[in-house]
Amino acid sequence: KNEVEQSPQNLTAQEGEFITINCSYSVGISALHWLQQHPGGGIVSLFMLSSGKKKHGRLIATINIQEKHSSLHITASHPRDSAVYICAVSMNRDDKIIFGKGTRLHILP
């Protein structure tokens, strides 16, 4: 079993829909990260979470430490949100970073 699991693997939605991407992990972590990889390949960091919830524009990230689960939400989705969203965790024991396989999101106009 992978230490970081994301679901769904692929998601296609209509413009304006509310999007949820999930991330579950099985190890002790010091932080969880959400990154965005654009179709051209560039990767940018969106959020770093160690508890609670963070919001940036139309993006909201939440984490439940007890359940070892995080969600990334996109409100009022737009075609420019089409990208691969990657969950990564920084492990407690050695600060090693483990990346999920990513969720490919496609928003249709």
Which residue number, 17 or 46, has a Cβ lying nearer to other proteins? 46
Q: How far is the CB of 14 from other proteins (least distance, A)?
A: 25
Q: How far is the CB of 107 from other proteins (least distance, A)?
A: 21
- Interface contacts to other proteins, rule CB under 8 A: 2, 4, 31, 33, 35, 40-45, 47-48, 86, 88, 90, 95-102
Q: How far is the CB of 80 from other proteins (least distance, A)?
A: 18
Reduced 3-state DSSP string for the chain: CCCEEEECCEEEEECCCCEEEEEEECCCEEEEEEEEECCCCCEEEEEEECCEEEEECCEEEEEECCCCEEEEEECCCCHHHCEEEEEEEEECCCCCEEECCCEEEEEEC
